[in-house]
Structure 1
Amino acid sequence: MQFHIQPPAIRASGYSLLEGSPEFDDVGAGLDEAEALGVDVVELPVYAWHLVVEGRVLGDRLKDLQRALAGRRLGYSVHGALAINLMDLPERLPRHEKVLAANIEIAAAIGAEHLVIHTGFVRDAEDDLEVAYSRQRDALARAGDLAAARGVRLCVENIFRFRDARETATPAKLAGELAAIDHAAVKATLDVSHAYIRCTDARIDPIAEIAALAPHVAHFHLHDSFGRPNEKRASDLWLYHPAEAVAFGEGDLHLPIGWGGIDWDAVVGAVRPAPGAVAIMELNPAHWRELNSQIPVLQALAARFQPAPAPAAVG
C-alpha cells in the first residue's frame, strides 16, 4: 500500500526586516541577524528603499541590492509600495500600475518568489464601488501576466479601512475578487490582524471571513493585536503617543504573537491553505527586543497550520 505524504501548509517562515536606511546600506546587518536566528526567509521592505523614481527602477541601486543579498542561505519575499491602489480613479491608475511593474521587476531581479501589495481602497465619494473593484480585477490580471512572465507570485494583502477610505475588501470579498480573476500568479497574503480589525469595523465574523480567503492564501502576515480599529470613525479614544495605543490595545499594533487578543486556535482551525505557503511575522520595531523569543513562537504557530486536502484522483 502506498501512502501519499502531503507537503506542509507552511513550508518556510521568517520575518520582515526593519526599514532601516532608505539606501538599504544596513541590510547586511539585518541579514546577519536573520541567519543567526535560523529563519528560512525574510521579507524586504522595498517600499521604504530608494529603488524607484516615477515608476522607473534605478538599475545601479538594484545591482547594489543584489550584491547585498547574494551568498545568503535565506529566501526572500518583497513588500511592494504600500501606496499602490488598483481601485484608484482611472486618471491615476496608470501610475499605480507603473510602480507595481517596477516592484515586479525588483522582486524578479533578487529572486523573490512573493511580492506583496495591499488590496485597493476607495476614497472618492462619487466613485462607484463595483466599478472600482472591476478596475482592480483588470489591473491585477494584467499584473499577474507580467509577474508570471518574471517568475513572481503576486500576493494581495487584506487591509482595513484607514484614514478616509470608504471601502476596502473584507477577506471574503477579496476571496471573491481573486476567484473572479482566477490567475495562477495572483494569490492572497492573509494578514490575520488586519482581518480582525476590518471585521470588527464591519461587525462580521473574522473567522468565517478568513476561512473564505484561505483557499487563495500563498503567504501570511502574522502578528498580534486586539482587532480594534483606531480610526476616528471607529474609536472614541484620543491617543497621543504610539505607546498609548499599545496601552489601550487600539489599532494595527503589530504586537508579538500572543500579546494580543487574536484567537490563534480558531485561526489555525479555519485556515487550510494549499501546501507550500510562506509565513512572515511583521513585528513593530518598538518590540524588536522580543524578536529572539518570538522566532520559536512563530515557527510553532506556522507548524500548526494544516494544508487543504489534495484533490481526489479522477478515474
Structure 2
Amino acid sequence: MSGMPARIPIGLAAREGQPDLSTLAQGLDELADLGLDMVELPAYAFDLLVGGRPLQGRIRELELACRDRSHGFTVHGPLATNFMAPAPRLPRFLEVTKAFVEIAARIGARHLVVHAGMLQEGELAGAEDAYARQREWLAKAGEFAAPHGVILCVENLFDWPPFVATPSPARLAREIAAIGHPAVRATFDLSHGFIHAAQHGHDFLAEAEALAPYARHLHLHDSFGQPDLPWTYAGAEAVAFGTGDLHLPLGWGALPWDAIAERCRFPAGVVAIHELNPRFWRDQREAIAASRGLADRLRTA
C-alpha cells in the first residue's frame, strides 16, 4: 500500500575540509543553523585508516566533533572500493569497509555509502564473474554491518575513464535483490543514473522505478544528464556547457523531478542527502529548500 510517508529526513553532504580533521568541527558548526536532519560526512577524505589499520586517536577526534549535534549523520566511505575488481584486491576492500562500518556505528550513523563496482575495458569479458564476486563480498560486508546497526547503501555510478562499465540502476536493483540481505541496500544517486542512461541509451525513468524500492539512501543534486566533455580548462566551463557530474542545486539542471516523484516508490526509512558542489556552497539554503520540497512529494511503500 502506497501513500504519503512520514517526513523524509533531509541532509547535506559536508565539505571535505582538511584530511587531518582539523577543520571538521568548524565545518559542522557552520551547518548548525540550516535546520538539517542529517549531515553526510565525506569520510573517504579523512585520514582515519592507514593500510587498513584504524587510527584510533583520529577516530576519537571524529566522535568528539560529532557529539551533541542537533542532527544525525550518514557516512560516505572510500570511493575507490570496488567489489567487482580482480579478486586479489577484495580482501583489503572488505577490511576497509568493515573499519568504516565500525566508524559509522561509533557516531550513530546508520547508513554507510559504498560505491557499486566498475570494470575496465580488459575486464569486460569476465563481467558476469565480476558481478558474482560483488554479490559474494557485499553479502560478507552486510553480515558484518548488520549487528553494528549499519546498512551498506551501494551507490550507482556512471562510466568515467578508465572504467567503461558499472551497474545501471536497474541492474543494481537486481543485484541487491539477489544478495537478499537487509543490511545491503542502495544509495540512489539520481543524477548519476541520469548520466548513465544518456551514456547507454536507457530509459532513465524506468531505471529509476526499478532501483527506488531498494534505495534507503538518496543522493540529490542536479545535472543535465550529459557526460563530460573530453577536456575543459576551468570547472566553470563544464557548468556553462552543462556537461558532467555537476552537483548543481536542485532545479538548476534538467532532471525530471516531477516525474520521479510521480513514478517512483521508495522504502520506508529513506534518507535524502543533497550533495552540493562546493562552488555553489553560497546557494546551500536554496538547495536545501528545493530538496525539502522534493522530499515532501516523494512516496514510500
**Distance (whole Å) between structure 2 residues aligned to residue 88 and residue 5 of structure 1:** 38
> CA 1:238/1:61 → structure 2, altered by over 3 Å: closer, same or farther?
closer
Corresponding residue number in structure 2 for 1:160: 158
Q: How does 1:264-275 map to 2 (within 5 A)?
A: 264-275=257-268
**Distance (whole Å) between structure 1 residues aligned to residue 263 and residue 31 of structure 2:** 30
Partner SS, residue 9 of structure 2:
strand
* Aligned-residue offset at 1:138: 0.2
**Distance (whole Å) between structure 2 residues aligned to residue 151 and residue 124 of structure 1:** 37
* Aligned-residue offset at 1:168: 0.3
4+ residue stretches of structure 1 with deviation over 4 A?
Answer: 4-7
**Distance (whole Å) between structure 1 residues aligned to residue 271 and residue 200 of structure 2:** 28
Q: Which amino acid aligns with 1:72?
A: R
Q: Identify the match of residue 285 of structure 1 among 275, 278, 298.
A: 278
Corresponding residue number in structure 1 for 2:181: 183
**Distance (whole Å) between structure 2 residues aligned to residue 238 and residue 128 of structure 1:** 31
Q: Identify the match of residue 46 of structure 1 among 20, 43, 50.
A: 43
Corresponding residue number in structure 1 for 2:299: 306
1:189–1:220 CA contact under 8 A, matched in 2:
yes
Q: Which runs of 5+ in 2 are unaligned?
A: none
Q: Identify the match of residue 244 of structure 1 among 219, 233, 237.
A: 237
* Aligned-residue offset at 1:114: 0.2
1:32 aligns with 2:29: yes
Q: Identify the match of residue 73 of structure 1 among 70, 75, 96.
A: 70
RMSD of equivalent CA atoms: 1.6
**Distance (whole Å) between structure 2 residues aligned to residue 10 and residue 185 of structure 1:** 22
Deviates more, 1:74-83 or 1:269-278: 269-278
**Distance (whole Å) between structure 1 residues aligned to residue 273 and residue 19 of structure 2:** 21
Corresponding residue number in structure 2 for 1:311: none
**Distance (whole Å) between structure 1 residues aligned to residue 4 and residue 249 of structure 2:** 27
2:249–2:286 CA contact under 8 A, matched in 1:
no
> CA 1:17/1:149 → structure 2, altered by over 3 Å: closer, same or farther?
same
1:123–1:165 CA contact under 8 A, matched in 2:
yes
* Aligned-residue offset at 1:139: 0.3
- If the length of structure 1 is used for normalisation, what is the TM-score? 0.92
Q: Which amino acid aligns with 1:216?
A: Y
* Aligned-residue offset at 1:42: 0.2
1:134 aligns with 2:99: no
- If the length of structure 2 is used for normalisation, what is the TM-score? 0.96
* Aligned-residue offset at 1:124: 5.2
Deviates more, 1:65-74 or 1:27-36: 27-36
Q: Which runs of 5+ in 1 are unaligned?
A: 309-315
**Distance (whole Å) between structure 2 residues aligned to residue 243 and residue 278 of structure 1:** 30
Question: C-alpha deviations, 1:187-245, integer Å up to 9, x for none?
Answer: 00110000000010000111000100011010000000000011xxxx5x532111100
